[in-house]
Copies of this chain bind each other. A is one copy, B any other.
Amino acid sequence: MRPIKLFTPGPTEVPWRVREKMARPLIHHRTAEYRTIQREVIEDLQRFMRTKNPVLLLASSGTGAMEASVVNLTRPGEKVLVTVAGKFSGRWKEIGEAYGLDVVAVEARWGDAVPPEEVARALDENPGVGVVFTTHAETSTGVLQDVKSIATIARERGALVVVDAITSICAEALETDVWGLDIVVGSSQKGVMTPPGLAFLSLSGAARERVERNRERAYYFDLNRALAAYDDGDTPWTPAIGLVTGLNEALKMIGEEGLENVIERHARNARATRAAVRALGLGLLASVPANCTTAVVFEDGNAEAVRKHLYEVYGMRIAGGQAQLKGKIVRLGHLGYYFESDIFTLISGFESTLLDLGVIEAGGRGVQALFGEFHEM
């Protein structure tokens, strides 16, 4: 009877308007009707990613678009640099190694950002790096990476810049063209409020030149095929029609609220969540917090008990820690379709759980703290 609500940093809640759109009879993809939908999706993504670059749609998870970036931009043995401070930024390293690249990894503690000056030093110590791969918002820690500075540093040294913005698109200020980002990767189940299975990436002129020189390095993820089809308003393989249709509606909703308002809503929800966590006497993992998710530290290993109780008793699904953070944190998600009242819902359940489990002695301080952020008092 009790409804389940997702407060996970991906997949995120999908608005009814999006689900209703996807529930309509399926249309065929080789039609004017589908081409219009796809063109609108691409134009909206360009608008929200702040780019004039082509945006390619891929029927895959975000990881597929990350792999497409690596395999199309690089050649085996090529030197690349990756910033690693969590599970998802570590994925750049894994993919690079799987494709035989010479990977220079600049690492930081999980919970910190990689300092741009360390990227500069590593690039100076390792001449010949062709591409820098970095992560805008690290979902496993809730940390925001200073992509703008890293891009400037990389470009000054002649490297292309590829950004995993899967968890930051429509949630953080992101300036693809102004910052000079060559590839920016996103996916459907995050800030753009659509079910998973659809990824996308933007491609600069410089990236496109590199891709065109790198023919025949992939098939399904061959961006040359995707670009050739793109120029005809098409896709090389059957697209994920239903998901593209859903994304079309989700992006319209974001356009109606206005990108700046959407980002400000995310920032406010994140600030409010952090204020509540602090008021509850708990520690925050992220030294530079992102708007997507708030990682809360449980030194005594209560994390999994909290996560389980919050779901089983209050019907709210939050994420735990991954890899080295397993059992040590919970992640309160507020990425996508979440408004003030949703944050009250989340904190009420979280605080009730802490009370039920005896982690805190009295309830009210967390929810109270939200008022201070959502209202001028």
Chain A residues close to B by CB (< 8 Å): 3-4, 6, 8, 10-11, 13-14, 19-20, 22-31, 59-64, 67, 94-95, 98-99, 187, 189, 195-198, 216, 218-222, 237-243, 317, 319
Contact = CB atoms under 8 A, between A and B. Distances in A.
Contacts of A187: 238
Secondary structure type dominating chain A contacts: loop
Contacts of A6: 25-28
A23 B22 contact: yes
Contact of A237 (B61, B238, B241): B61
A242 B197 contact: yes
15 contacts: A11-B28, A14-B26, A19-B25, A22-B195, A26-B195, A28-B317, A60-B60, A61-B237, A61-B239, A64-B220, A95-B219, A98-B219, A187-B238, A196-B242, A242-B243
Contacts of A59: 59-61, 64, 196-197
A334 to B, nearest CB: 15
Copies in the complex: 2
Given A59-B60, A60-B60, A64-B60, A22 B242 contact: yes
Among A25, A67, A196, find the residue whose CB has the most chain B CB atoms closer than 10 A. Answer: A196
A239 B8 CA distance: 15
Contacts of A8: 28
Nearest to A217: B98
Given A59-B64, A197-B240, A220-B60, A13 B28 contact: no
B196 A240 contact: yes
Contacts of A27: 4, 6
Nearest to A166: B238
Among A20, A29, A220, find the residue whose CB has the most chain B CB atoms closer than 10 A. Answer: A220
Nearest to A187: B238
